Amino acid sequence: MATTDDGRPLTFVEEVRSAVTTRAALLVIGVLGLMVAFITSYAGAFHHPEPDRVPLAVVAPAQVRGELVRKLDRLPGAPLDPSPAASEADARRRIGDRTRDAALLVDPHGTTDRLLVASGGGASLAQAVEAVVTAAEKQQGRTVRAEDVIPADPGDGRSLSSFYLVVGWCVGGYLCAAILAISAGARPANRPRAVIRLAALALYAIAAGLAGALVVGPVLGALPGSLFGLWGLGALTVFAVGATTLAFQGLLGIIGIGLAILVIVVFGNPSAGGAYPYPLLPPFWRAIGPALPPGAGTWAARSIAYFGGRALTGPLLVLSAWAVGGALVTVVLATLHRTADDRAGGGPTGDAGSLPA
């Protein structure tokens, strides 16, 4: 039985306090909160996917086009966001530049219309649009035949490879940053050390981007598209997530790792548009997804793989903002931390009377 310094046996409460420190208890409570948030976020995003305002181009004779667009726009639950297109070529162009997810081509001489979809942008979305349009056409005594104009690659099951690739890059980014930070203390002690860690992260990001692109491309044949394009996207994604993690750690210490997991994994992954593209997600997840690294990365990876690199500007700006912002915050916090140590009398070594952590 454990005893105190004076030989008195420890009480049960004292045993508990010696076994589980207050800091450990708080961290365990934080982990519990992350777990609950994880379950809530994933279940909330995925438990009831349904189309909501899916952008749809409508090609029809002028005399019926306006009325058809209004009828599709007024379907119960507003699953579609229809807009007229001048021709089939115009509709295909809009699908190709990712401003529309599908297109309905009305045959003025028959009762069978065509629906153009793009499973490369998400198989679940293509199927959902087909189901909605088929039901709407049936009510009008018409049928519809789906045509996949930008199909997912045979090796890309349900067009999920882009999502899994980006998730892997994100995991690598925050794990690398966490290792760099906690290997010598959770807070960088000075600006040079912060810059060195960011430089190490950048080198890792370049290697990780290439490794991921090689695995999904030449090795597995899971994703088409430019190898160099995916490599560049991967490097940017890994660095953005890693720099953000370093910034959180500089601000909150080891708790910053939990904050990074909350932002990237708990909120970022289910809202990324991977398993269910944005029009199938509930409003909250659909709103935050494009602004977070997993969502921006997944959209960009699909654009590179299937859409000729179109519609990349927004996602790349989002990733760049996380990368630059994370790096700047990391350096600024390290500088302020060092300045505070110097004012406290720590001198050039960082902490007073000790080497920097």
What angle do the packed helices 293-306 and 227-252 form, to 10 degrees?
180
Cβ distance 74 to 136 under 8 Å? Answer: no
At residue 354, the pLDDT reads 35
Compare 205 and 19 and report the one with higher pLDDT: 205
At residue 341, the pLDDT reads 57
Q: Which domains, from first to last, does the chain contain?
A: 54-148 (3.40.50), 157-349 (no CATH)
Cβ distance 261 to 34 under 8 Å? Answer: yes
**Torsion sign (Cα): 60, 66, 68, 69:** positive
At residue 183, the pLDDT reads 73
At residue 356, the pLDDT reads 35
CA angle (227, 232, 235) in 5-degree steps: 120
Cβ distance 37 to 262 under 8 Å? Answer: yes
**Dihedral angle of Cα 252, 254, 260, 265, to the nearest 10 degrees:** -150
Cβ distance 266 to 204 under 8 Å? Answer: no
pLDDT in tens, 148-195: 999 999 999 899 999 999 999 999 999 999 999 887 655 666 888 899
Side by side, the strands of the sheet bearing 112-117 are: 80-84, 54-59, 102-105, 112-117, 143-148
Q: What is the DSSP letter of 140?
A: T
Q: Name 353's Cβ contacts closer than 8 Å, sequence gap at least 6.
A: 346
Average pLDDT over the chain, rounded to whole?
91
